[in-house]
Structure 1
């Protein structure tokens, strides 16, 4: 290829022109002219989009005599320049990470994306040591102020890229970190002596050269200690040829910083400045303003003897060698199809979260406040400063327990702040968040003086956690921020940072980040506290738990769409967790078929028979732990009225496994009706009173003794002749009374105090209409037989509503996320959130099949998979292990836990809306088909 190039074309190979994919045909023609007429060596793409950039790349490559090197400033990934692509954390954020292997992973992934987009050279990493908090151009783009940390992370990032086919360029030589001037607008001066430059600024460049960096970018700096002529370093033969190439023995590609920056163009004519940069020793000129003029000036320089043709040829040959190294000798056009999808893979997105998670830095954690414990003792307020709407940070906090939101705009008035101060007095824990409204995390505060003062006063109060979603240098501008009992810094403000910081506070994830820079005298570089998480749910992507997003979301979305289209359900919630990692939590459809109110993840569903394993059963397991009964005890031991009945001697073990010969159910509500369908006058009244306190609906009240009549009906009911598995509601209707006989207190407060409140399961409740607006409660059946109205806010089951809404067989409501906390506790064999609720031995006993020899699959209270797989009619997915357990509910609910795979699955729906006669959900087998998708989505380990 070298032999085919004219002298001018060899000069042109050393120039990289600026290209954009967000500009019109005029720019496109301009680029084609540079390529076809002047034979430039490459292009650096700036703003645009991946599909447009790839299409233009193909067009430009087709027009070029020599394949073009395609470069990009992609310090934090393609998202730095291209829309619809991933932006990884800034380098200062990465500087907080302790595991440099993660930076190698990032380099590998950035290289994959770059090559997929047709990009061969990344002008990264930045290895400037940022030891000037007021640096306006490097700052958050630096790994920090510790030269060794900067070098190690630069090497890891570089190797990840170069090992995977992308040439990297360390910048900005010989070190742009200690300046308060932006070289885009003026020429910064670095006044340090040579000894200081050798030991600090030059250190990372030496290390990266020794590690095999392919390129180095030279900055526009005035450094008298290295060149007394005070010319910009880009034009200095002393700095480029003598220092970089000879003394440091760098033989790779030396590239200028952009030649349109004022730091180099001020006082230098176009073309001449490019000539001087090449004469100084640079191999490649980036962003030359006038390429034809630059070629002409360089040609003159050869004639004048300022540079030899041999030197030009050597640099051209080096450029061609780079092109060969990146594979341009085997050039293939970029494939446009699916480029956006293939750039934004789940693995690529997960890596961004992993990097952010690893960077989170805890600076204060008084009394081990984080992760939060004893949620039932906390009244939590979350205050976000610098925003006027609820944030992802606040919304994620609410996944763990009830949290009240407050927002404070950056210019909040005195009256607004006074009102907030009054409101916060009601809470015993405040979580504050300082947000950044800028595009980049600069070291400035935009909060008004009085808002800053409010933040300072708040931070100094006890039981306050502050999360700072800003550049760490801002900590020095926030008075008394260091007094906060808990202090977390995330370095930048985005959805990942907000969600993960909230998860850290509640123990969903751990933290071990370290400050990459010092903040005045408050915190030194390298400081940070470890916080151990993993005690509660982590909300993440499927790949983080060893599952495939495409299978999980694609197939579940399809199955739910099928159910919605068939009108098997109006809507639903689907929740999937693996190994305490929530990989899917999604709401679908509408609350009913009127298509007006969309289901939200926070909506409460009637759990129906899932109540059995969510109320009476946890109480019974806890009491079993406390040796309040044995499984050989009988019903009469706890309910004296059952003495002398046909059920007096039935052991609890038989009862809990549904083989005690109980009838399946009784339609208790029918006994309230006369033959003509009207209500019996002594049973139901239109007004409440002392004798009629149980509200069934508006203007419909049940006699206070009717629950006793239900118990009496159960006591008097005949037993089935054969002892075998027959599912029955009877015992769980009685369960609250059985439990109360052992605890000497009311059933529901006991369950609430011992389970739901400490779990943070704040939506798990009976009679939700008493606590939540109807808009958050999903309606069930249109009851034309008993209550004669659509059921909304009260339990669907007639027997449960006649027990006052509180029963052990039905009546419980919840959203999927809160119910999952209880189910995860079961899967953890009795532990969740750092608290043990039930012993592992008890949970293992209650969740195992008790009587397989009697062809009874049931555990104690829990359901189990069929003993033999029954195909489409099986009660669980084929993939569910024999150790798995759970329960289903009449309203279309399903919960299941599998200890072998660590899976928790919850499906909540209201298939009984508008009528229980709608059995399409069963016929479609939607719930178990979705369950099987979870197993299909598991990433199988290679043999």
Structure 2
């Protein structure tokens, strides 16, 4: 095997130099993981990289966990996994998989790093949260299975992650090394359960940068021969491709030594190094086991064959407008506490907290106005207070809780309005911090979910979802 094929660099549109990526392609790296871009940019770069590569096929991957809209501004943001957990509908999970796969394939992206099998069982976890289907291992397994089947139907490869389970930790592995303190018994019945059930369907397993003392006291999972070679491959019998989580994440320390340790532990792909050229040079200077190299080559060849099995749809067909997100939103919304219903002619005061990404509330506001509701100006008295809480997971953020100043702002306003409702547009645990008497959970800030929240307030439908977590 060409050693360079082990490495799959990242490409950040607007940040990474295209000439560097083309040079890496000419050197024979096995693929690239994309971040950002527009539909046109992604499609053009996949073609350019493949044209430069000496390999018959390279794999283009991306973290399209909530559809392409989480990364591409001109694609729709699909329902979060936690929203699907609230809806508890495998048909919706399957449909999400198909849509994601078809859209990715139409742009030349073969491999979707999803689904997340981590459990949403730790309120302080800053990086899993709405990426999980829920806290119940069986619910997660059922919905993830449907999503995987949808991806396969749409022609994209999957990757179940983050083995052996990133849920029960309060640290973002993009910033530091998390420790999963679960006992060996708890791991078997909870964190590992979805992985054990879905390994037969996995095109690949992404191993997390996690210290799991019950499994290995010394090495994080992504570098651990006990966890990759022992648990995953031997005990659980997994015969497929093993990929590291992004090596550029700050949990690992020395990138070169981490990559080498991961390869020796049994990983077949070294994903997204911070300095890919330096890593390639280093790998050529050390003695790499030929048996492990051959195994890695076989795994990548197998992925390439699977990726080429289903032809890609045209972008025009793949991105046709659907009502999927609207249907999902209507099933996913959860109401806790007294139901608040708005009537035409009422005036509403809307305040927002946790909007780190400057997301627009226009879909929510416009839907209220269409229902005959007027919006009060800041400080103006109104009939009902609506609090929009936007806070959601973000890599390298390190926390997901609201700041004390944000909490004080909301609680001050709640005292002034006997009639009020909190709408959490992402992180559901924010409701515990704000103590609203009535909360509407959407689990997603997508425009379709904002419109559904407004229609629910207008009494257009009853929220029927159930919380897939424990508050």
Scaled by the length of structure 1, what TM-score is found?
A: 0.46
Distance 1:223 1:45, change over 3 A: same
CA offsets per residue over residues 611-657 of structure 1, 9 Å max, x none? xxxxxxxxxxxxxxxxxxxxxxxxxxxxxxxxxxxxxxxxxxxxxxx
Alignment of 1:894-933 (within 5 A): none
CA RMSD between the two structures: 2.8
SS at match of 2:460: coil
| Corresponding residue to 1:469 among 425, 430, 450 | 425
Counterpart in the other structure of 1:345: 320
Q: Retained in 1: the 8 A contact 2:425–2:441?
A: yes
| Corresponding residue to 2:293 among 312, 315, 318 | 312
Alignment partner of 1:244 is 2:232: yes
Q: Retained in 2: the 8 A contact 1:381–1:431?
A: no
Distance 1:437 1:96, change over 3 A: closer
Shift of 1:438: 7.1
Shift of 1:300: 5.6
Q: Retained in 2: the 8 A contact 1:135–1:179?
A: yes
Counterpart in the other structure of 1:384: 350
Distance 1:390 1:169, change over 3 A: closer
The CA distance in 2 between the partners of 1:465 and 1:231, in whole Å, is 46
Counterpart in the other structure of 1:359: 332
The CA distance in 1 between the partners of 2:466 and 2:392, in whole Å, is 24
Alignment of 1:69-84 (within 5 A): 69-84=59-74
Distance 1:286 1:294, change over 3 A: same
Alignment of 1:6-25 (within 5 A): 7=1, 9=2, 11-23=3-15
Alignment of 1:322-471 (within 5 A): 322-327=303-308, 339=315, 341-347=316-322, 350-365=323-338, 380-386=346-352, 391-401=362-372, 403-408=373-378, 416=379, 420=380, 423-424=381-382, 427=383, 430=384, 432-436=386-390, 442-444=400-402, 448=406, 450-457=408-415, 461=418, 464-471=420-427
SS at match of 2:370: coil
The CA distance in 1 between the partners of 2:326 and 2:221, in whole Å, is 38
Alignment partner of 1:172 is 2:162: yes
Distance 1:234 1:99, change over 3 A: same
Counterpart in the other structure of 2:216: 227
Alignment partner of 1:513 is 2:469: no
| Corresponding residue to 1:258 among 242, 246, 256 | 246
Shift of 1:326: 1.1
The CA distance in 2 between the partners of 1:89 and 1:261, in whole Å, is 26
Which consecutive residues of structure 2, in runs of 5 or more, have no partner in the other structure?
none
Shift of 1:466: 4.3
CA offsets per residue over residues 579-602 of structure 1, 9 Å max, x none? xxxxxxxxxxxxxxxxxxxxxxxx
CA offsets per residue over residues 886-905 of structure 1, 9 Å max, x none? xxxxxxxxxxxxxxxxxxxx
Q: Retained in 1: the 8 A contact 2:160–2:204?
A: yes
Counterpart in the other structure of 1:46: 35
The CA distance in 1 between the partners of 2:295 and 2:249, in whole Å, is 27
The CA distance in 2 between the partners of 1:456 and 1:431, in whole Å, is 8
Distance 1:494 1:442, change over 3 A: farther
SS at match of 1:386: strand
Distance 1:458 1:88, change over 3 A: farther
SS at match of 2:160: strand
SS at match of 1:192: coil
The CA distance in 2 between the partners of 1:193 and 1:147, in whole Å, is 16
Shift of 1:277: 0.8
Q: Retained in 2: the 8 A contact 1:151–1:207?
A: yes
Alignment partner of 1:272 is 2:224: no
Shift of 1:291: 4.1
The CA distance in 2 between the partners of 1:260 and 1:450, in whole Å, is 37
Counterpart in the other structure of 1:649: none
The CA distance in 1 between the partners of 2:407 and 2:190, in whole Å, is 37
Shift of 1:245: 0.8
Shift of 1:149: 1.6
Counterpart in the other structure of 2:453: 501
The CA distance in 1 between the partners of 2:159 and 2:412, in whole Å, is 45
The CA distance in 2 between the partners of 1:396 and 1:291, in whole Å, is 47
Q: Retained in 1: the 8 A contact 2:264–2:292?
A: no
Q: How many residues align?
A: 461
The CA distance in 1 between the partners of 2:422 and 2:222, in whole Å, is 44
| Corresponding residue to 1:95 among 80, 85, 110 | 85
Alignment of 1:719-734 (within 5 A): none
Which has the greater radius of gyration? 1
CA offsets per residue over residues 200-228 of structure 1, 9 Å max, x none? 11111112114x12111001111111112
SS at match of 1:262: coil
Q: Retained in 1: the 8 A contact 2:407–2:434?
A: no
The CA distance in 1 between the partners of 2:374 and 2:251, in whole Å, is 51
SS at match of 1:467: strand
Distance 1:404 1:292, change over 3 A: closer
Shift of 1:82: 2.3
Alignment partner of 1:65 is 2:54: yes
CA offsets per residue over residues 519-557 of structure 1, 9 Å max, x none? 2xxxxxxxxxxxxxxxxxxxxxxxxxxxxxxxxxxxxxx
SS at match of 2:87: coil
Q: Retained in 1: the 8 A contact 2:82–2:133?
A: yes
Shift of 1:356: 2.1
Distance 1:407 1:277, change over 3 A: farther
The CA distance in 2 between the partners of 1:503 and 1:204, in whole Å, is 35
The higher-RCO structure (CA 8 Å, 6+ apart) is 2
Alignment partner of 1:189 is 2:179: yes
